[in-house]
A and B are shown apart, each in its own frame.
Chain A
Amino acid sequence: MLRISTIALALALAVPASAQTIKLGAVLPLTGPAAVIGMQEQRGIQFAVDEVNAKGGVAGHKIEMLFEDNQAKPDQSVLLFNKLVDLQKVPAVFTGYSGPSLAMAPLAGRKKTLLVNGGAQADALDKASPYLINTIPVLAGELEVLANYLVADAGKKTAAILFENNAAGIAGRDDFLASFEKAGGKVLAQEPVPFGDTNYRPALLKLAATSPDVVFVVITSGTPQLADQVRQIDAKFTVVGSTFFSDPELIANPNAEGFTHTQVLINAPEGMAAAFKAKYGTEFDFFPKQYYNAATVVMTCVEKLLKDGKPVTGENLLAALKEIKTFKGLTTTVFNTNTAATQINMNRINGKQDNLLKVIAPK
């Protein structure tokens, strides 16, 4: 006890009295079935914040992250959002998953608190609240690129859709359906799988029976199992997907040979991925990278406010974000609206490598 308080005292003395700690909040699913993604998001944010704090903080201010566990439930999200804003006076709250984000969005507007979504891609998030910022593009833009590539460049005319039966999966299905048919292709069939279920066989068998050129897959986890099961049915179709395919475990799976996908460009500098793995024992995957990027965006806004001598409030953060507009985090993130535009790549997995086919610049 004495030792802890001595350390605390030493820490307190080390920081100049004027440089107060800045508290930021996050409401994510950290337990229960949705924690598989929520925990990754948490690690991404914490990794970015630790890195900044190790370098002395943002303009001399340390950042403190306050994580709350909503188990992906909307009522808990609202309660915890109020807790962070009321008791801790945080100016910004990170969120993930579409349901909880939509439940907190009206509150963010009323409380003038920045709500930062770095992972959910449902279209409804785009205009849910002026205070909801999406640091990842909604799926529609990405899937338009994919559909155009498939029909125009690769000559694929027919598709079937395998989607996760949640907000992310349904958004993916609807957007792909619209874009693919607009590009001149035809969607033959669609099948859902429950979230968290990695048994895709019945759905795959049914889709394969329609003999499509491609099967578009939108699932957020369990992609290595998907690759194994596709190989097992000796599929004739090409598997295509979105940015969720940029999973190191999938890329390393020999059964993922030929999988083609769009990717919201996000690259970690050399050494960062290794440092992340050394710290947490898990890969620096898509979700930690996205939340690292989201944290970088928010901390850049905080830095600007501190340098301008303005108070760090949600309202000021939003204004700073609109003013800075272009952020250089793990990728160039541009805010023309509340939703970021970033570069999108077309990739194909070959020989356990994710190879670049084509680059599409942000609109």
Chain B
Amino acid sequence: MLWLNLLINGLVWGCALGMVAVSFSLIFATTRFFHVAHAAVYGLGGYVSWSALKHGLPEWAALLVGIVVCGLAGAAIQKLLYERLDRRGATHLVILIASLGLSAVMQNGIAAIYTSNVLQYGLPWGNRTTIIGGALLTNTQMLTVVFGILSYLGAMWFAHRTVLGKRMRAVASNPFLAEITRLQPRQVHIAVMAIGSALVCIPGVLVPLDLGLQPFGGVPILLTATIAVIAGGVGSISGAFVLALVIAVLQNLSLLVMPGEWSIGITFGIFVIFMLFRPRGLFTG
């Protein structure tokens, strides 16, 4: 039953990837900045929670500390960096380079404080397993699925049912109109950066709880999540989450027919071809 195991494994990983994709989708759809430092915020959440745990906080409180710190960091990045750049009429290329600079600062700061070694949370309950649908899953993996689904539902509720979420979608769909209709896009940008950054702390903790903490660990996962966001259709939270699941499942199931060294290459190859036929993503009109 190799295929079933790979499928379940892919779905679990897809939930982790999906959380990163949903958080990035909220930010990217609203601001349209290539916020590559999102990978560093993801790393920050993991390391802050690790420290909180080592200082004796219970697990839930450590996660909460991470979420709050990430949210504040996100708001600060928007207010102090991107907003200033935007006010000066910086192009997306300039914002991208500034964001890269910020990633270098944050990731190397983490490496200087915590070393580059792979750190572990050291929570034995995380590795205990249960049989579900013919596959053995660890508690961490089950938590990932639960949080993944909750994050997706939470983001959908936020975007479609709250006032702030509606303002966010209005700003995303027409920034010029938003400016003149007193929707205060700059405030919306800060709020969205805070929410997206707080959300990315959850996979930022759960993935390293499973696989170990590394200062540069957020980069590969953000790369794949970005592809999910774009291929899903910018602005579509469902698109981002579904595509993350599809990519993770495809990468797992591709092992049935080809050696693993090609699975990443093939995924991106398919993506490039897909973009040629659906240049605006899957979930857009």
Contact = CB atoms under 8 A, between A and B. Distances in A.
Given A197-B220, A202-B252, A205-B2, A165 B211 contact: no
Interface residues of B, number: 32
Contacts of A165: 261
Dominant SS among interface residues on chain A: mixed
A236 to B, nearest CB: 13
Given A36-B116, A225-B211, A232-B127, A31 B2 contact: no
A137 B248 CA distance: 39
Given A194-B264, A197-B220, A209 B2 contact: yes
Interface in A5-48: 31-33, 35-36, 38-40
Interface stretch (A185-193, A263-271, A315-323): A185-193
Interface string A332-357: 00000000000000000000000000
Interface in B182-221: 210-212, 214, 216-217, 220
Contacts of A249: 120
Interface in B248-268: 251-252, 255-256, 259-261, 264
Contact of A202 (B6, B210, B212): B6
Contacts of B217: 196
Contact of A35 (B13, B111, B138, B251): B111
Nearest to B263: A202
Given A39-B115, A205-B6, A206-B260, A196 B127 contact: no
A199 B120 contact: no
| Interface band, chain A | 35 or more
A196 B214 contact: yes
A255 interface: yes
A255 B127 contact: yes
Contacts of B116: 35-36, 38-39
A225 B127 CA distance: 10
A293 to B, nearest CB: 21
B138 A206 contact: no
A232 B216 contact: no
Dominant SS among interface residues on chain B: helix
Nearest to B253: A202
B129 to A, nearest CB: 6
A206 B255 contact: yes
A198 B212 contact: yes
A346 B129 CA distance: 31
Contacts of A281: 115
B241 to A, nearest CB: 20
Nearest to B127: A228
Contact of A33 (B5, B138, B216, B252): B216
A173 to B, nearest CB: 11
A297 to B, nearest CB: 26
Interface in A148-173: 165
Contacts of A190: 259
Contact of A232 (B6, B10, B136): B136
A231 interface: yes
Nearest to A224: B120
Most buried by B among A165, A192, A206: A206
B51 interface: no
Interface string B256-282: 100111001000000000000000000
Given A31-B111, A36-B214, A282-B117, A202 B255 contact: yes
B260 A192 contact: yes
A292 B253 CA distance: 44
Contacts of B210: 199, 225
Contacts of B211: 198-199, 222, 225
B33 to A, nearest CB: 24
A232 B140 CA distance: 12
Contacts of A124: none
Given A31-B108, A225-B212, A202 B260 contact: yes
B118 interface: yes
A221 B261 contact: no
Contacts of B260: 191-193, 202-203, 206
Given A191-B259, A196-B216, A224-B212, A201 B111 contact: no
Nearest to B207: A199
A133 to B, nearest CB: 26
A308 interface: no
Given A228-B127, A234-B136, A201 B212 contact: no
Given A191-B259, A196-B216, A198-B211, 15 more contacts: A33-B214, A39-B115, A39-B116, A39-B117, A40-B117, A191-B260, A192-B259, A198-B214, A199-B211, A205-B5, A205-B255, A221-B118, A222-B211, A224-B212, A225-B211
14 contacts: A32-B216, A36-B116, A36-B117, A38-B116, A39-B117, A191-B260, A196-B216, A202-B255, A205-B9, A224-B212, A225-B118, A225-B210, A232-B136, A233-B136
Question: 6 closest pairs, A vs B, by CB?
Answer: A198-B211, A209-B2, A35-B116, A36-B116, A192-B261, A191-B260
